[in-house]
Amino acid sequence: MLDRLHLFIPFKPEACTAYFWTTEKRKGKVRDVLMSSVDLAYLGVPMQSGSVSLDAKERFIVSELRHAWESLPSSYTPLAFKVFHEGFGFRGEAGVDLKASPAKLTQGHNLFGSTSIRMGALAMKAWLSVAYPDLMAKLNWDEAEVQALDCTYSARLPNERTAQQAIDALRNISNGQTKSRGDNYSETAYWFKKDSRLKGLKAYLKQYEYAHQLIEAQRQAAGSGKKAAAARRTVAVMSDPQLVDWSKCLLRFEATVKSRGLSRRKIPTNLNKLIDYQENLAREGRCLIRELWTETTAPIFKACEGMEMKTIDDEHVQAALKAAYVKTNKHGKPVYTYANNLFNTFRNIRSYGWDETKASIAPSTWTRHTRDLEACGISKAVLQKLPEISKNSVVPLLRFVEIDFSSQRPPWYVEPTAESVLDHCEQFIDSQAANDEHAAPLKKVANVVQIPVCTASPLLPHSPHATAAPPPWALKWLGKPKTHDKTARSSVAI
């Protein structure tokens, strides 16, 4: 599944207000970079200021204007969006960053979904056009670049206990340059450096992440406004018992492949070309997302060969003890204190043996605990041999962590289409117009978002400060021009 798509879309040359050269240094490399900039004040996006001061006439001088990361509304989860009104680093072009989970945008959850980059980009482009239709027309979608792809596939384990044991075993795995990052959590394991410019990899228990997302959506749904309305739609989807059941006992491997990693594989990073590349592979019966995921996770599965994992099922033992030794407090709620004490004794016998555990607790407690454990079906003979039984109860890790590519989606799943994506956007627009009689009429999304996804939209009016500067590729051939004033609109007097 394509779980996340990160795009950078530069502005069209006609929308840029200035070009300038700058010298950038990074890790010992020095490079002259041609920068472009746009007039942030005329893009219709909310602005922030890095500095506010008073001039001699006691007017506020607002400088260092910028656009902060923004969450654009959709039918379900938001789309992360930011305008970079100037180039920075070795990326000289001004443009827009978009980050989203295509599955969440189109269906409200990411338990399973499409592998289509075209469909993911279409959904992101459609929702950007809903929020900022004028800005959309100033973007050069023909030069859009894919910054990163998240590719995910899952293994289904027999129960929660085994799933937790698997993630515990995976945390200790390293193979060559694929090293555990060290900042692991109880349900997650990470590999590769956090700031790697090539790739990332993590494994986690999807059930817990899904439950956390549902709780967060329920919290947001209690509010008001557009975000609360979207959260209520998300809750309606995620609360489906079929989806909740599907999330159980899933061990998900998420491989992030960044633009540099794609380039090293000689895979194009231009959005148009990458879509063509993926669809050409599909005609050959191949899946790009699956191949990227397989290559990224290969070192981990190689390291798993020969590894073993204990499979003593404490879950059933604990459940039997809780069922037999439950009490009720004065409020009518069940209390499992004694059952938990019995379970701790059971685990101590397994870890330290019969004699050592017996010596560590009071004789009366020992007698009572062993009697009640036997009453639950664990005989004295089993308890005395429990450490030996535990040592022999191991199986190869890969027996459980097995990815079945043919069963990543349930049989009742229907993949979203371009028409369904655009219909969602149109319905969202209609609902907003119905709730706000003063809302400005929006153009039909289908008129802004063309199919194929990267077809250019007609140019709408842009900043009156725009210059007739030649496009960046031409300036590189003409030589370095005199630097334009790149801070011309970075400060405003109020």
pLDDT in tens, 309-353: 455 556 778 888 888 899 988 888 899 999 999 999 988 888 888
Q: Which three-class secondary structure state does DSSP give residue 354?
A: helix
What pLDDT, on a 0 to 100 scale, did the predictor assign at position 274?
Answer: 96
Cis peptide before 10 (omega within 30 of 0): no
Which carries the bigger pLDDT value, residue 423 or residue 1? 1
**Running DSSP on this structure, what letter comes out for residue 42?**
G
Q: Where are the beta strands (DSSP E) in 73-134?
A: 79-84, 95-100
What pLDDT, on a 0 to 100 scale, did the predictor assign at position 447?
Answer: 53
Contact of 201 with 296, CB cutoff 8 Å: yes
Helix (H) or strand (E) holding 247: helix 241-247
What pLDDT, on a 0 to 100 scale, did the predictor assign at position 470?
Answer: 43
pLDDT in tens, 482-493: 343 434 344 444
Residue 186 CA to its chain's centroid (Å)? 19
Measuring CA to CA, which residue among 462, 374, 364, 360 is closest to residue 132? 462
Q: What is the residue whose two structure tokens read 């040359």?
A: 13
pLDDT in tens, 284-294: 999 999 999 99
In the predicted model, is pLDDT for residue 398 greater than 80? no
Measuring CA to CA, which residue among 128, 70, 181 is closest to residue 448? 128
What share of the chain in percent tops pLDDT 90?
Answer: 33
Residue type, 111: L
What pLDDT, on a 0 to 100 scale, did the predictor assign at position 432?
Answer: 63
Q: What is the mean pLDDT of the chain?
A: 78
- For the chain, the straight-line distance linking the first and the last C-alpha, in angstroms and rounded, comes to 50
Mean predicted confidence (pLDDT) in 360-366: 92
Task: Tell me how crowded residue 65 is: count the other CB atoms within 10 A of its CB.
Answer: 19
Q: List the structure tokens of 174.
A: 């390293």
368-404 per-residue burial string, b: 16 or more CB within 10 A, e: under 16:
ebbebbeeeebeeeebeebeeebeeeeeebeebbebe
What pLDDT, on a 0 to 100 scale, did the predictor assign at position 180?
Answer: 60
Mean predicted confidence (pLDDT) in 220-224: 86
- Indicate the pLDDT class of residue 434, thresholds 50, 70 and 90: low
Q: What is the pTM of this model?
A: 0.71
Backbone CA torsion sign across 318, 163, 246, 104: positive
Q: List the structure tokens of 43.
A: 């893009």
Alpha-helix residue ranges (DSSP H) falling in 30-109: 102-107
Bridge partners of 36, per DSSP, are 19
- Indicate the pLDDT class of residue 452, thresholds 50, 70 and 90: very low
Measuring CA to CA, which residue among 331, 172, 200, 335 is closest to residue 261? 200
250-266 per-residue burial string, b: 16 or more CB within 10 A, e: under 16:
bbbbbbbbbbebbeeee
What whole-number distance in Å separates Cα of residue 303 and Cα of residue 299?
Answer: 6
Task: Tell me how crowded residue 486 is: count the other CB atoms within 10 A of its CB.
Answer: 18
In the predicted model, is pLDDT for residue 411 greater than 70? yes
What pLDDT, on a 0 to 100 scale, did the predictor assign at position 366?
Answer: 93
In the predicted model, is pLDDT for residue 241 greater than 90? yes
pLDDT in tens, 18-44: 877 777 776 667 777 778 888 888 888
